Amino acid sequence: MVVRNIGLDAKPPKAGCNDVLCPYHGKVSVRGRIFEGVVASSKTPRTVSIERNYLHYYPKYIRYERRRGKMLAHNPPCIAAVTGDKVTIAECRPLSKEVNFVVVEKVGGSSA
Ligand SMILES: [Zn+2]
């Protein structure tokens, strides 16, 4: 199986897959923003919900406030992230109405 170079500092998964929407084995290219988050839900096939904490600057008080948000990302079968996994997601073309990101790596944890 040919593993594509996605142009990021992420190590490709050992497993292969036949997913067209996989950045390593399919045809989706990644570009744009990169986030880290925790998988909040992996109930849907090949899609995960990522929860992300970030700081938002509030000029009036010259401080940051904590914010939290969820976003959907495509979860290729060769990575197969499940609830609780820390993952890196990268922006790609819109894959569906609300999916504009794809999981490129599991962070920390055991090898994928
Ligand atoms: Zn794959």
Each domain of the chain, given as residue ranges in start order, spans 30-106
Q: How many Å lie between the centroid of ligand 1 and the Cα of residue 57?
A: 37
Q: Which two tokens stand for residue 85?
A: 């996994």
- Per residue in 63-83, pLDDT (tens digit) is 999 999 999 999 999 999 999
C-alpha span between 57 and 109 (Å, rounded): 31
Q: Please tell us whether the domain made up of 30-106 is placed in CATH 3.30.460.80.
A: no
Q: How many Å lie between the centroid of ligand 1 and the Cα of residue 56?
A: 34
> The whole model's pTM is what?
0.87
C-alpha span between 45 and 42 (Å, rounded): 7
The DSSP bridge partners found for residue 72 are 49, 99
- Per residue in 14-66, pLDDT (tens digit) is 899 999 999 999 999 999 999 999 999 999 999 999 999 999 999 999 999 99
Q: How many Å lie between the centroid of ligand 1 and the Cα of residue 46?
A: 11
Q: How many Å lie between the centroid of ligand 1 and the Cα of residue 4?
A: 9
Q: How many Å lie between the centroid of ligand 1 and the Cα of residue 20?
A: 8
